[in-house]
Amino acid sequence: SHFDQVTHAVSMLSLDNAFSLEELEAFDKRLREALEVDVLDYACEPKLDGLAMSLRYEKGALVQAATRGDGRVGENVTENVKTISAVPLRLKGDFPDVLEVRGEVFMPLSGFAQLNERQQQQGEKIFANPRNAAAGSLRQLDSKITATRPLDFFAYAMGEVSDKNFATTHHDMLATFKSLGLPVNPESLTLKGIQACADYYDGLLKKRDALPYEIDGVV
């Protein structure tokens, strides 16, 4: 009748925003001065407009899926997430004993259109946007309903991990995720310098309408 609460082993923090090139350059300057380097490498990827999710794997098996909640405590939606075909129930390859994968559950635009068409035909509620549709699908108390919804997933971060040498950079982490069978966004790139990040943003903005999912920025 309800979802159990889950306390995250590592908090799921929120992001800060930058709304101009000047803010981005100031961020870069603070980092370079603190690290005492001339130029930094950045990992850039689309900010997916969905729901943040934490997947906990133990000995390669998916044992828990939890929503972000307030960042410290989320809801256990394991049975629903297990119905998402993009989420592997078991990792492949060489995986640590414990690995928490952070990522985004979202609904592709084509699936969203098909779902609303089906809802309309059945005389049921029409969803306002893909994010609301994804949220409503994940919060079903009956996982059989979730299984009928066209949800997808991309991994982009990690929480608790038992192997301290799992990845030394964000790029390495994404590459390792991919080797374990976890889906990562194909638009992800590693770039040198903050101007390259600004160029990446401009390029993604130009093809935003052609992407098969909704985004609300760049990370």
Instruction: Tell me 97's DSSP state.
Output: S
The catalytic position among 29, 47, 82, 144 is: 47
The CA-based diameter of the chain, rounded to the nearest angstrom, is 61
- Active-site annotation holds for 92: no
In angstroms, the CA 177 to CA 167 distance is 10
Instruction: Tell me 90's DSSP state.
Output: B
In angstroms, the CA 123 to CA 137 distance is 17
In angstroms, the CA 8 to CA 183 distance is 22
User: Which tokens sit at 29?
Assistant: 């300057």
Residues contacting residue 151 through CB under 8 Å, at least 6 positions apart: 83, 84, 86, 105, 106, 107, 111, 134, 137, 138
Task: Work out the end-to-end distance of the chain between its first and last CA atoms, rounded to an integer number of angstroms.
Answer: 36
Element of type H or E holding 51: strand 51-58
Residues contacting residue 54 through CB under 8 Å, at least 6 positions apart: 6, 8, 12, 64, 65, 66, 67, 68, 74, 100, 101, 102, 159
Which are the catalytic amino acids? 47
